[in-house]
Homo-oligomer: A and B are copies of this chain.
Amino acid sequence: MPSGYKVAVVGVTSAAGSEMVKILEERDFPVKELAPLASKHSIGEFIEFKGDSIPVQVINERSFKGADIGFFFAGKAMSKEFAPIAVRNGCVVIDSTSAFGGEEDVPLVVPEVNPHRIKGHKGIIANPSCSTIQLAVVLNPIHKQAKIRRIVVSTYQAVSGTGKKAMDELTEQVRDLFNFREPKIKVYPHQIAFNAIPHIDEFVENAYTAEEMKIVHETRKILEDDSIRICATTVRVPVFYGHSEAVNIETEKKLSPDAVREILVNAPGVIVEDDPWHNKYPLAIYAAARDECFVGRIRKDISVDNGIVMWIVSDNIRKGAALNAVQIAELL
- Residues of A near any B CB (own CB < 8 A): 150-152, 154, 156, 171, 174-175, 178, 189-191, 194-199, 203, 206-209, 216, 229-231, 233, 235, 237-240, 244, 246, 248, 257, 276-277, 279, 281, 283-285, 296-304, 307, 309, 311
Q: How far, in whole Å, are A154 and B229 apart by their CA atoms in the complex?
A: 19
The listed residue (B196, B208, B230, B303) touching A152 by CB distance below 8 A is B303
Asked whether B281 lies within 8 Å of A198 as measured between CB atoms, the reply is yes
- For this chain, the copies found in one complex come to 2
Asked whether A307 lies within 8 Å of B231 as measured between CB atoms, the reply is yes
Q: How far, in whole Å, are A65 and B175 apart by their CA atoms in the complex?
A: 49
The listed residue (B152, B257, B276, B279) touching A190 by CB distance below 8 A is B279
Asked whether A197 lies within 8 Å of B283 as measured between CB atoms, the reply is yes
A195 to chain B: closest residue by CB: B285
The prevalent SS among residues of A at the interface is mixed
User: Which residues from chain B contact A154 at a C-beta distance below 8 Å?
Assistant: 154, 233, 246
Asked whether A199 lies within 8 Å of B233 as measured between CB atoms, the reply is no
Q: How far, in whole Å, are A238 and B283 apart by their CA atoms in the complex?
A: 13
Q: How far, in whole Å, are A207 and B281 apart by their CA atoms in the complex?
A: 12
Chain B: minimal CB distance from A296 (Å): 8
A311 to chain B: closest residue by CB: B198
Asked whether B196 lies within 8 Å of A284 as measured between CB atoms, the reply is yes
The listed residue (B151, B196, B303, B311) touching A239 by CB distance below 8 A is B196
Q: How far, in whole Å, are A274 and B237 apart by their CA atoms in the complex?
A: 20
User: Which residues from chain B contact A301 at a C-beta distance below 8 Å?
Assistant: 152, 231
The listed residue (B229, B233, B240) touching A311 by CB distance below 8 A is B233
Chain B: minimal CB distance from A192 (Å): 10
A-B contact pairs, 13 of them (CB 8 A): A150-B303, A154-B154, A154-B246, A156-B196, A174-B174, A203-B276, A203-B277, A231-B302, A231-B303, A231-B309, A233-B246, A238-B239, A246-B246
Asked whether B206 lies within 8 Å of A279 as measured between CB atoms, the reply is no
User: Which residues from chain B contact A304 at a C-beta distance below 8 Å?
Assistant: 150, 229, 231
User: Which residues from chain B contact A171 at a C-beta distance below 8 Å?
Assistant: 178
User: Which residues from chain B contact A307 at a C-beta distance below 8 Å?
Assistant: 231
Asked whether B239 lies within 8 Å of A279 as measured between CB atoms, the reply is no
Chain B: minimal CB distance from A245 (Å): 9
User: Which residues from chain B contact A174 at a C-beta distance below 8 Å?
Assistant: 174, 178
Asked whether A238 lies within 8 Å of B194 as measured between CB atoms, the reply is yes
Q: How far, in whole Å, are A152 and B307 apart by their CA atoms in the complex?
A: 11
Asked whether A229 lies within 8 Å of B302 as measured between CB atoms, the reply is yes
User: Which residues from chain B contact A156 at a C-beta distance below 8 Å?
Assistant: 156, 196, 235, 237
Chain B: minimal CB distance from A279 (Å): 4
User: Which residues from chain B contact A297 at a C-beta distance below 8 Å?
Assistant: 198, 207, 233
Chain B: minimal CB distance from A133 (Å): 18
Take A199-B276, A301-B231, A303-B231 as given contacts and tell me if A207 and B257 are in contact as well, using a CB distance cutoff of 8 Å: yes
